[in-house]
Structure 1
Amino acid sequence: MPDRRTPGRGAIMLLLDVLETPKASIAGIAARQFNREIAELASAQLIKPSGHMTAGADDDDRPREFVWCPDSSSYGYFSEAEGWAPVPESDIASFAVDLTRFLSVVTGKFRLSGMATSMSEPTGGLWNLGSARFGRRPRRNPVMFARRMHNASVCNAVESAVRRQGNAERMVLLTTTQAELVPAFPRSCEVVSLWDVVDFEKDLLIDPNRIAARLSQRPLAGEGDLQVIADGKLVKFFGETFRFERGVKQREIIRYLFKEYQNGRLLVSSAQIVAELDYPPQTRIRDIFKNSPAWSKLLAEQNGMCGFCLDRERSGGPDGG
C-alpha cells in the first residue's frame, strides 16, 4: 500500500503556494529546491509527476528547448558550441497537485453531500463541493473551493458563478488565496482562506467547528446596515429608510424574512412564505409590494426565492422583474 504520511508544515505551506500558480504545478529548479517537501506531498498522494519542462534557460540564462534524445536516453538541448547538452531529469521534472485528492483530504471531516465537481477547466479555479452542516446550525451550507482569487479576472469569474448558484443558505467559499489578497465579496458568501483554518503543525484536515465559528462570529450585514424597527413599520437598510405603516402583509413578510435572516438564511422560498403566513396559495409576494419603493431595493425575488437585497451595493441586487 502507498505510504500516506501526513505532510509537515513546510510541505503544507508549499502545497498551498503551488495551488496559487496558474497550473497548480511546480517544476525545474524550484521543484528541486523543495525536494523533501515534494517527497512528503507525493507520499500523501497530494502531488504527482506531470511530465517535464519543455523550455527553460541554460546556465547563462539563454532560452533553451528541452527535448528527449533516444540515442543518449536523456533530456537536454542543442548548443551551437557544445552540441548535445544533457540536462539532469530532476532539473526539469514537473509535479502537479492532485486537486481531487487535495479537496477530499481538506474536507475530510465535513460529511459533504455530493461529489466534488470542477466548474471550470481541469486546472481551474472553482469547484462545487456539495453542502455540509457546520456545528449545531440547523441547515446545511453550500461549500465551494476557489484558488488564485488574488487574480482579478479569476475573482470576478468566481463571484459571478457564486451569484448564479442562488443558494438560500450562506455559502462557504474555501480558498488557497491568503485572506488579505481576496477582494471584498458578497455578504451571502463566507470566504475562508485555508491559511487561516489549517493547523500546519498537524494536518490538512479542516475542523468544521472553525467554519461554524466563522459563520456565527459576524452578522450578515454590518452593524446598523439592516434594522427592523417597530414590528416592521420602519426598516433602515444601508442608509435608506423604508416605511410600512399601512401595509399589514408587507410588515408580516418583512418580519418573516428578518427572522430567517437572523438564523442565517439569506433567501427563503416564496411558496414557503405564502404557506407559513397562511396567505392564499396563488398569492404573489411581488404583488403585495407592487407599489412599494422597497421592492428591488430592500427585498426582491429570484428563481422563486425571496430575500433582502444584501448585495445590491455591488451587483444591483436580486432581479426584481
Structure 2
Amino acid sequence: MTKATSLSKRAIDLLLRAMEARSTSLQASALHQVSRGATDALLAAKLLVPSGHVPVVAGMDDYEDEPVEATWSAELKSYGYHDSTGRWISVENRDIAACMVDYGQALAKMLVAFDRAGPSRPTPLISDLVWDVGTIKFAGAKAPVPVWFARRLGDPGGWAQLEALIGRKPPPEIRIILTSTPGERIPETAQKRNHIINVADVAGDPAKLAISPQVLRARVFPGQVQRRFPIDHSEDCGIVWLKGQTITFRGDKQRLLLKQLFDAYWSGLPECRTSAVLFEAGYGDQTNSLAKAFGKRDDWRQFVHYDDGNCWIDPDQIMSVPSGQ
C-alpha cells in the first residue's frame, strides 16, 4: 500500500490542472511560472516525471514576443533557433524541459485507503484519456467495484469518447469513474450505473490526493448514509439532504460556502456575514450576493436564508424571495 504524501493544496490543484491540459507533455518552465514551489514538490513526489523536451520558446525578435520552435544542433550540441538576421540563439535545456503526470503514482495515492486489486500500472482504455485502474472493495457494494480514471471530460470530444466506451462496456453493478475535471464541468450521463466524480470532491484532506472512503461512499450510495433530520449533508457539503430530498452541489466555491454555513448552524450560532462567507469561499468582488454565488439555481433557497447583510441555514423557515434577488 502506497503511503499518502502530504502536499500543499496549491500543489494538488496544479497537478489536477496538469491532468486537464490538452497535451500530456508540459514544459516544466511553464508550470514554474504558475507556482515554482508546487511544481518542485510534485517533481520531488514523482507525481510529475521528466519526459524529454517541448521545443517551443518565446523568442525575442524585433522586440516582439513570438513562439518559436527550437531545434537541435548536432554541431553545437544544444537546442536553439535562428533569429531574423540568421544569428543562432541558444536555448537552455531547462527552459524547454518537459514533464508529464505519472498516472500510476497519482492513482495509487488517490486510492491508498482502499483494498485495490488489478495491475500495478493503470491500463489505457482510450489513449491519454481514460484508464482502467482495477477494482476496489467498497462498503455497500455487493462485489468489488471497477474504477476508471478519465480526464478532460469538459471537452465535448473527450466526453463523447467516454460515453461511447461506457455504453459498450456497462458495469455488472456500478462503476466509479474518477476524474480531474471539475465537478461543475462534468456533463450528465444517462448511464447511471457509472458514477463520475471529481477527485478533489472526495478527498479526505485538501493537501493529500487520498480519497476518503466515507466521502466517496456518500456520493455513490447516498441512501445508505445515516442522516440527521430535517437537514444533513455529506462531509464536503456536495450533497444536502433536506426532509427526504437530495440536493447536489458540484461547484468548489458553493461547497465551501455551504460548509461555513453548516459549521455555524451546528454550532448553534447560525448567522454569518454574507460578505465574509463569500470572501472565504473564494468569490471575487463581482459576486456580492448569494444569488450570484449560486447562479441560476434556486433550490438552495429552501434552507439558506439572508437578511440585513447576514445569511444562515434554517430548514424550517419559509423565505419570500424579493424581486430581483
Q: Give, in angstroms, the shift of residue 136 of structure 1.
A: 4.3
Per-residue CA distance 1:140-188 (angstroms, 9 max, x = gap) = 2221111000011111111221122222211111010001101111211
Aligned to 1:84: 88
Does the 8 Å CA contact 1:32/1:91 hold for their aligned counterparts? no
SS at match of 1:86: strand
**1:120-139 pair list within 5 angstroms:** 120-121=126-127, 124-139=128-143
**1:241-252 pair list within 5 angstroms:** none
Are residues 110 and 28 of structure 1, via their aligned partners in 2, closer, same or farther at CA, if it must alter by over 3 Å? closer
Within the alignment, does 1:103 sit opposite 2:107 as a pair?
A: yes
Are residues 29 and 202 of structure 1, via their aligned partners in 2, closer, same or farther at CA, if it must alter by over 3 Å? closer
Are residues 43 and 5 of structure 1, via their aligned partners in 2, closer, same or farther at CA, if it must alter by over 3 Å? farther
In the alignment, the residues of structure 1 paired with residue 13 and residue 67 of structure 2 have an alpha-carbon distance, to the nearest angstrom, of 30
Does the 8 Å CA contact 2:200/2:206 hold for their aligned counterparts? no
Are residues 192 and 218 of structure 1, via their aligned partners in 2, closer, same or farther at CA, if it must alter by over 3 Å? farther
Aligned to 2:149: 145
Structure 1 letter corresponding to 2:45: A
In the alignment, the residues of structure 2 paired with residue 131 and residue 145 of structure 1 have an alpha-carbon distance, to the nearest angstrom, of 12
Aligned to 2:123: 117
Aligned to 2:69: 65
Does the 8 Å CA contact 1:112/1:131 hold for their aligned counterparts? yes
Structure 2 letter corresponding to 1:61: D
Aligned to 1:224: none
In the alignment, the residues of structure 1 paired with residue 146 and residue 50 of structure 2 have an alpha-carbon distance, to the nearest angstrom, of 32
Does the 8 Å CA contact 1:28/1:53 hold for their aligned counterparts? no
Aligned to 1:19: 19
Does the 8 Å CA contact 2:146/2:174 hold for their aligned counterparts? yes
Q: Give, in angstroms, the shift of residue 113 of structure 1.
A: 2.0
Are residues 209 and 134 of structure 1, via their aligned partners in 2, closer, same or farther at CA, if it must alter by over 3 Å? farther
2:163 to 159, 164, 181: 159
Are residues 205 and 28 of structure 1, via their aligned partners in 2, closer, same or farther at CA, if it must alter by over 3 Å? closer
**1:1-321 pair list within 5 angstroms:** 6-27=6-27, 29-33=29-33, 34-59=35-60, 60-81=64-85, 83-115=87-119, 116-121=122-127, 124-185=128-189, 186-199=191-204, 201-217=206-222
Are residues 218 and 90 of structure 1, via their aligned partners in 2, closer, same or farther at CA, if it must alter by over 3 Å? farther
In the alignment, the residues of structure 2 paired with residue 80 and residue 167 of structure 1 have an alpha-carbon distance, to the nearest angstrom, of 58
In the alignment, the residues of structure 2 paired with residue 218 and residue 176 of structure 1 have an alpha-carbon distance, to the nearest angstrom, of 26
Unaligned runs of 5+ in 2: 225-325
In the alignment, the residues of structure 2 paired with residue 143 and residue 28 of structure 1 have an alpha-carbon distance, to the nearest angstrom, of 30
Q: Give, in angstroms, the shift of residue 138 of structure 1.
A: 3.5
Does the 8 Å CA contact 2:12/2:207 hold for their aligned counterparts? no
Alignment length (residue pairs)? 215
Does the 8 Å CA contact 1:118/1:128 hold for their aligned counterparts? yes
Are residues 92 and 131 of structure 1, via their aligned partners in 2, closer, same or farther at CA, if it must alter by over 3 Å? same
In the alignment, the residues of structure 2 paired with residue 165 and residue 79 of structure 1 have an alpha-carbon distance, to the nearest angstrom, of 53
In the alignment, the residues of structure 2 paired with residue 5 and residue 180 of structure 1 have an alpha-carbon distance, to the nearest angstrom, of 27
Most deviating of 188-197 and 56-65: 56-65
Does the 8 Å CA contact 1:50/1:96 hold for their aligned counterparts? yes
Does the 8 Å CA contact 1:149/1:177 hold for their aligned counterparts? yes
**What's the Cα RMSD here?**
2.4
Most deviating of 50-59 and 18-27: 50-59
In the alignment, the residues of structure 2 paired with residue 201 and residue 130 of structure 1 have an alpha-carbon distance, to the nearest angstrom, of 24
Structure 2 letter corresponding to 1:204: L
Are residues 45 and 29 of structure 1, via their aligned partners in 2, closer, same or farther at CA, if it must alter by over 3 Å? closer
Does the 8 Å CA contact 2:204/2:215 hold for their aligned counterparts? no
Are residues 150 and 62 of structure 1, via their aligned partners in 2, closer, same or farther at CA, if it must alter by over 3 Å? same
Are residues 215 and 32 of structure 1, via their aligned partners in 2, closer, same or farther at CA, if it must alter by over 3 Å? closer
Q: Which has the larger radius of gyration?
A: 1
Does the 8 Å CA contact 1:19/1:25 hold for their aligned counterparts? no
